[in-house]
C-alpha cells in the first residue's frame, strides 16, 4: 500500500442504514469526474499555507473529531497545544440555544526517536441530539477557537446519510487537490469513511513525526467539522 503505488480517491456515496445493521447502497455511482494526476507529487513544504499554525499563545491546532459511540450521539474532540498543557475542557451548545454544556477530557504526550509531541487532548461529548448542529469551543485560559459539527440523523430504516471516502491521502500537492475536490463536491459528505494511510511520515528519517503534526493541521479544515472514522 505504501511507496509508489499509492493512489488517492475522493468520491461520495449515499448509504442507508437498515434496521438489521446492514449498509445498503441506495444511490451510489460516480459523483465527480476528477481523476488525480498519475505522477507521484512531492510533499508540500512545512511553510505551506495548509500547515499554518493557528495564531495565539497555546492555540489549539490539529483539531479533529470522530464518532464517540455506535449511534451518533457522542463525538470525540481531539487537538494539540504546543506551548503548555492548557485546558482539556470543551464547551458546546446546540445552534439556536444558549444552553452551554461543558465536558473535560484528558491530556497525553509521547516521544519517538528525537521527536517530542505537543500536549494531545481528547474529550468526549455525550448525550447529543440527533440531526442537530452543535458549536464547540476549546483552548480555555489562552487562545480559544470555535468549530461546529452536525450530528447524524436518528438510526432507522431508510434514513439517508452521505459519506465521503478517502484513502492514502498523504500531504503532497495532490493531497491538497483531492481534499479540495471533496469539499467542493455539490453532494456534501457528512462523515468521512477514511480507509487508511494518513501522513506518510514514515517516508522520513526517524519517521519524522513533525509530518504527523503538519498532516493534522492540513486536514483540520475538514475533520474539525465532520467526523473522520
Ligand atoms: C439559528 O441560528 C442560525 C445562525 O446561528 C440562524 O441563521 C438561524 O436563522 C437560526 N434559526 C432559528 C430558527 O432561529
Ligand atoms: C531528528 O533527526 C533527523 C535526522 O538527523 C533530523 O532530520 C530531524 O530534523 C530531527 N528532528 C527533530 C525534531 O529534531
Ligand atoms: C433533520 O432536521 C431537519 C430540520 O432541521 C429536517 O428538515 C430533516 O427532515 C431532519 N432529518 C431527519 C432524518 O430527521
Ligand atoms: C491548497 O488548496 C487550497 C484550496 O483549497 C489553496 O487555497 C491552497 O493555497 C493550497 N495550498 C497548497 C500548498 O497547494
Ligand atoms: Fe498508501
Mean pLDDT, residues 37-65? 95
Q: Ligand 2 within 6 A of 204 CB?
A: no
pLDDT in tens, 173-226: 999 999 999 999 999 999 999 998 999 999 999 999 999 999 999 999 999 999
Q: Give percent above pLDDT 90 in the chain.
A: 79
- Among protein residues, the one with the nearest Cα to ligand 1's atom 13 is 96
For ligand 4, atom 4, name the residue with the nearest CA.
180
The strand order across the sheet containing 133-138 reads: 101-104, 89-94, 133-138, 145-150
Across 34-38, 64-68, 122-126, least confident range: 34-38
pLDDT reading at 18 higher than 50: no
Torsion of CA 24, 7, 167, 49, to 10 degrees: -140
Q: Which of 43, 44, 48, 50 to mutate to test the pocket of ligand 4 (most atoms within 8 A of CB)?
A: 50
What's the pLDDT at 196?
87
How many Å apart are CA 182 and CA 190, to the nearest integer?
A: 11
Confidence category of residue 8, pLDDT binned at 50, 70, 90: very low
Residue 185 backbone class (left: φ over 0; alpha: ψ -120 to 50; beta: rest): beta
Residue 175 alpha carbon to ligand 4 centre in Å? 10
> Smallest Cα–Cα separation from 10: which of 161, 228, 177, 223?
177
Is the beta carbon of 115 within 6 A of some atom in ligand 2?
yes
**Contact status, residue 64 vs residue 220, Cβ threshold 8 Å:** yes
- pLDDT tens-digit profile of 121-166? 999 999 999 999 999 999 999 999 999 999 999 999 999 889 999 9
Beta carbons of 88 and 109 less than 8 angstroms apart: no
8-state DSSP, 206: G
Which residue from 163, 92, 173, 165 is spatially nearest to 126, judged by alpha carbons? 92
Nearest alpha carbon, ligand 1 atom 3? 96
Does the beta carbon of 98 sit less than 6 angstroms from any atom of ligand 1?
no
Query: Is residue 177 a contact partner of residue 184, using CB atoms and an 8 Å limit?
Result: no
Tell me if 205 CB under 6 Å of ligand 2.
yes
Cβ of residue 112 lying under 6 Å from some atom of ligand 2: no
Mean pLDDT (whole number) for 44-58:
98
Q: Which residues make up the environment of ion ligand 5, defined by Cβ < 5 Å?
A: 1, 6, 168, 197
| Mean pLDDT, rounded, for 67-95 | 97
Q: Are 160 and 75 in contact (CB under 8 A)?
A: no
* pLDDT tier for residue 28 given thresholds of 50, 70 and 90: low
Pairing of strands 101-104, 159-167: unpaired
Least confident range of 3-7, 93-97, 158-162, 194-198: 3-7
Split at pLDDT 50, 70, 90, the class of 37 is confident
SS3 (DSSP) at 3: helix
- CA of 172 relative to ligand 5 center, distance in Å: 13
- 47 or 2: which carries more pLDDT confidence? 47
Q: Which atom of ligand 2 is nearest to the CA of 209?
A: 13
Amino acid at each position: 500500500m505504501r511507496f509508489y503505488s499509492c493512489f488517492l480517491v475522493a468520491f461520495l456515496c449515499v448509504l442507508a442504514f437498515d434496521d438489521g445493521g446492514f449498509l445498503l447502497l441506495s444511490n451510489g455511482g460516480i459523483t465527480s469526474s476528477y481523476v488525480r494526476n498519475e505522477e507521484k507529487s512531492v510533499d508540500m513544504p512545512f511553510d505551506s499555507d495548509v500547515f499554518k499554525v493557528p495564531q495565539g499563545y497555546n492555540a489549539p491546532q490539529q483539531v479533529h473529531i470522530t464518532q464517540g459511540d455506535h449511534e451518533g450521539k457522542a463525538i470525540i474532540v481531539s487537538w494539540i497545544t504546543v506551548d503548555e498543557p492548557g485546558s482539556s475542557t470543551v464547551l458546546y451548545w446546540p445552534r439556536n440555544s444558549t444552553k452551554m454544556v461543558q465536558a473535560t477530557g484528558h491530556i497525553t504526550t509521547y516521544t519517538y526517536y528525537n521527536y517530542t509531541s505537543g500536549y494531545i487532548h481528547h474529550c468526549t461529548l455525550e448525550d447529543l441530539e440527533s440531526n442537530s448542529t452543535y458549536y464547540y469551543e476549546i483552548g480555555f485560559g489562552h487562545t480559544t477557537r470555535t468549530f461546529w459539527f452536525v450530528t447524524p440523523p436518528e438510526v432507522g430504516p431508510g434514513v439517508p446519510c452521505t459519506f465521503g471516502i478517502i484513502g492514502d491521502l498523504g500531504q503532497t500537492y495532490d493531497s491538497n487537490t483531492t481534499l479540495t475536490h471533496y469539499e467542493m463536491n455539490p453532494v456534501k459528505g457528512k462523515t468521512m469513511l477514511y480507509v487508511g494511510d494518513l501522513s506518510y511520515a514514515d517516508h522520513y528519517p526517524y519517521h519524522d513525526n513533525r509530518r504527523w503534526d503538519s498532516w493534522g493541521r492540513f486536514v483540520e479544515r475538514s475533520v474539525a467539522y465532520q467526523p473522520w472514522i
